[in-house]
Structure 1
Amino acid sequence: MKKILAIAFLTLTSMSMQAQEELTWHTDMSKATDISIKENKPMFLFFTGSDWCGWCIRLQKEVFKTPEFIKWAKESVVLVELDFPRKNNQTETVKTQNAQLQQQLQVRGYPTVWFVEATKTADAKVNLNALGSTGYVAGGPQAWLSGANQIIKKK
């Protein structure tokens, strides 16, 4: 009985630790823009085909789900996922928003990550200043974050 309780405790502790390491990926640009401006952080726009793009899935596994990336992202950027799934359903609002941003930033392939700085004008119009973009980079989180840091230093 003690072994079962010990295993249950360890499992729950492990799940709790993983839950604490979860990142918030926004899908609403308006909300993400407000947070970005408030926190004075650039937005990290991740253009992905989450349910079909092999390189997108690989980038998530090799970089975005690592402790190094999670720590960096929480401190450095506001994460926005702009997904173009083939099987998963999305609202028309999200589809339209993602397509407009894809066109605006001229995204031609996946995965693409754009770093942008958001500002609002006096009449509440949002302007996005593109800092730079990247995609899949071999070499794990250190290699990927090195390139990302060079881009956001332009801010």
Structure 2
Amino acid sequence: MKRTIYIVLISIFTTAFTYAQELTWHTDMGKASEFAIKEKKPLLMFFTGSDWCGWCIRLQKEVFHTKEFKKWASENVVLVELDFPKRAPQDDTVRTQNRQLQSMFQVRGYPTIWFVNPEMNSEKRINLTKLGKLGYVAGGPTKWIGNAAMML
């Protein structure tokens, strides 16, 4: 009886921890790049309109907020959110950085996800090597992750 209770409690705490585990979405590209270089992982750069883009919100709900995506992302990429809100306030430094990256990657619509490898050059500047881009993919987290994994 004690063993059964013990197993049930462990199961409950493990499940609670898994669902409570949240991903870190970086907003500072420099810090995210340094972290990615250190971890030897590519960046997943999510260009979004968080407070107005219906497809962005749908992608987050159907894919990014699932346990499958959270597990995959924590093992494979460093996440960067590059937001272009209409109503929410945004720091000028972040807004400028996001617009520069939007121009550099020629983002014309949302959501757009670029996968890139950051590399430190001899001048201590970070270069970004494009691996591929993705947007909303119908079919849930398994299909989205399958498409993303082909670029890494």
TM-score, length-scaled by structure 1: 0.86
Q: Report the Cα distance in structure 1 between the residues aligned to 2:16 and 2:80, rounded to whole angstroms.
A: 24
What CA distance in whole angstroms lies between the structure 1 residues aligned with 2:19 and 2:24?
Answer: 13
Paired-residue identity, %: 60
| In the alignment, structure 1 residue 120 sits paired with structure 2 residue 137 | no
Give the corresponding residue for 1:52. Answer: 52
Structure 2: 5+ residue runs without aligned partners? 1-12
2:61 counterpart of 1:61:
yes
Figure out how many residues of one structure are paired with residues of the other and give that number. 139
Mind listing any 5+ residue stretches in structure 1 that lack a counterpart? 1-12
Aligned-residue offset at 1:17:
5.0
| Structure 1 residues 126-153: Cα deviation after superposition (integer angstroms, max 9, x where no partner) | 100000000000000011000000011x
Cα distance in 1 for residues equivalent to 2:52 and 2:142? 26
Equivalences for 1:131-142 in 2 at 5 Å?
A: 131-142=131-142
The secondary structure found in structure 2 opposite 1:151 is coil
CA deviation map 1:95-137 (0-9, x unaligned): 0000000000000000000000000112111100000000000
Partners in 1 of 2:126 and 2:101 — Cα distance?
13
Partner amino acid, structure 2, of 1:29: M
Q: Would you identify which runs of 4 or more consecutive aligned residues in structure 1 move more than 2 Å?
A: 13-19
Tell me the distance in 2 between the aligned counterparts of 1:125 and 1:31: 12
Deviations 1:18-75 (CA, angstroms, capped at 9, x unpaired): 33x2100000001100110000000000000000000000000000000000000000
Residues 120 and 50 (structure 1), Cα distance of their counterparts in 2 relative to 1, 3 Å cut = same
Aligned to 1:100: 100
Q: Distance in 1 between matches of 2:49 and 2:16?
A: 27
